[in-house]
Amino acid sequence: MLFRSSPRVFRLLRNGLTCLALLTACSGDAGSGGASANPRSSASSLDLSQKAAQVLLIGVEGSGRPSADTLDLLARLPVGGVVLFGFNLPPEPAGLGAYAADLQDSVVRTRTGAGIPLIVAIDHEGGSVFRFKGEGITRIPPPSEVGPRGARYAALLGHIAGAELRALGVNMALAPVVELLNDRNKGFLGSRSYGREAARVDAAASAYIKGLQAEGVAAVAKHFPGNAGEDPHKVLPELDIDKRAYERDYLPRFASAIKSRVSSVMLSHVVFGALDPGKPASLSPAIVGGELRGRLRFRGLAITDDLGMRALSATWSPERSAVAALAAGADLLMLTDMRAAARVRDAIVAAVRSGRLPASRLDEAVARILEVKRRFGMEAGLDPKTRAKRLAGFPAIVQEDSKRIRAFRF
């Protein structure tokens, strides 16, 4: 039994599932529609500070192996997950298995006593957004090449990516982009989109989502409600379209992903004036609460893009934007600067204590995070024997995947 040495983790994940049932009682599916509800605490054993940490998805330091500062932080701060970038990864892809194991082991040793498995996330769109540099892993082609080849090919790539990531200890892929390519966003998205035709994009994105998730890796549809041409790493983009264009070209893409039971949706930092001219989408109750939660009835995880991007940080501190994003309806807050994590956690705690952020909203976010961890069996990442078995099978998985690619007939 995976929980033999950690029964408390089982209780926390079980409690998260029980309380998530309040959110999905009408749909029976954490990734699709259902009546809204006001859930109680998703993990009664967690205190306020631990809940405030659980909603953070942080970047970490360390190339090839986690730094000592990273492991110390994770032992003190029970964050919900980590996001890995190219500079983190060992030269050989298989080396990521040890990196992910070190991260999960730090949770087991945590001095907070939370002991909840980490989400270990990585961008895995293919093409230009592919973090692995060395040989020994299947390179996913850019979505712009996948879309024209059809849903069967996208599904194959999803299964391949999911099986390989899972063997390496990664349990969430920050992919796919589900947006249509158009003249407004091509400067930013480029080859990251499956194309300009709605039916083709929906079919390919849905197939990739289903393939990833069938292999035990959570998929993330991005970026809601859409992107403009400017890079949010550098500026605050503005999406200059009317509601009619939004309802025709943008909203249906995410409806399709939700229908495919995607675990999570990533929120963009774009200002969409037709819905909310005053706030970026990731901080907007009208867009997150009104559109994603209300109109699309999405009950899975809403994840922000990095709070440290210039789109937000030029005006909003991470502490302020974190509280605003939670209040708007986001659940998991990406913060690539791990040294700001404790400050952001403290700001969330202070907001709840002051009444600026309802405790029920934080509880709802934690419930959704725990449900995704349960749904994708992330507790297995805490078990050394399971990790070792999966990693030992990684070379054979890659070899078999190479054969499947060569044998595929378009």
Question: For residue 332, what is the DSSP state?
Answer: B
Given the structure tokens 């009664």, which residue do they identify? Answer: 44
Place of tokens 């024997």: 385
Residue in this structure with the two tokens 């082609």, named with its chain if needed: 141
The number of residues making up the chain comes to 410
In the three-class reduction of DSSP (H, G, I as helix; E, B as strand; rest coil), residue 231 is classed as coil
Contact status, residue 29 vs residue 261, Cβ threshold 8 Å: yes
CA 383 to chain centre: 22
d(CA 168, CA 162): 10
Report the alpha-carbon distance of residue 191 to residue 296 in Å, rounded: 27
Residue 20 one-letter amino acid: L
| Residue position matching structure tokens 């492991």 | 71
Could you tell me which residues come within 8 angstroms of residue 355 by beta carbon, excluding any fewer than 6 positions away?
none
Write out the DSSP string of 228-264: -SS-TTTS--B----HHHIIIIIHHHHHHHHHTT-SE
Instruction: Compute the distance between CA of residue 329 and CA of residue 288 in angstroms, rounded to an integer.
Output: 6
In three-state form (DSSP H/G/I as H, E/B as E, the rest C), the secondary structure along 60-125 is CCCCCCCCHHHHHHHHHCCCCEEEECHHHCCCCHHHHHHHHHHHHHHHHCCCCCCCCCCEEEECEE
d(CA 170, CA 163): 10
Name beta bridge partners: 302: 265
- Mind telling me the catalytic residues? 233, 305
DSSP 290: I
Residues 404 and 185: their CA atoms lie apart, in Å, by: 33
